[in-house]
Amino acid sequence: MVNGRRVASGFVGGVAALIVAGCSGTEPDRPAADVTSAPSPTSAESPSVAPTSAGPAKAIPAGIPDSAFLQESDAPEKAKEKPNRLDSDGNALPAFCKAGYEQKDQVGVRGTELLLIASKDATEGSTPKAAVYENVIVYKGAGATEFMTDLRAAVRGCASQKEDNGVTAKNFLRGSIGAGDDSELIERTRPATDDAGEPIDNQVNQVFWAAVRQGDTIAFVSNGGWESGSAEKSDTVTLATRAATRVKAWRG
User: Per-residue pLDDT tens for 128-155?
Assistant: 999 999 999 999 999 999 999 999 999 9
Is residue 33 in some structural domain? Answer: no
Residue 38 domain-assigned?
Answer: no
pLDDT of residue 80: 94
Widest Cα–Cα separation across the chain: 53
CATH code where residue 204 lies: 3.40.1000
pTM: 0.78
* Surface-to-core class of residue 181, CB atoms within 10 Å of its CB (0-12 exposed, 13-18 middle, 19+ buried): buried
Domain that holds residue 210: 64-251
Asked if the structure places residue 2 within a domain, the reply is no
Does pLDDT of 197 surpass 80? no
Give yes or no for residue 3 having a pLDDT over 70.
Answer: no
Let me know: does 75 contact 115? Beta carbons within 8 Å. yes
Give the pLDDT score at 221: 98
Domain tally for the chain? 1
Percentage of the residues of the chain whose pLDDT score is greater than 90: 65
Name 156's Cβ contacts closer than 8 Å, sequence gap at least 6. Answer: 27, 44, 45, 173
Amino acid 10: pLDDT? 43
pLDDT for the residue 220: 98
If you average pLDDT over every residue of the chain, what do you get?
82
pLDDT level of residue 199 (50, 70, 90 thresholds):
confident
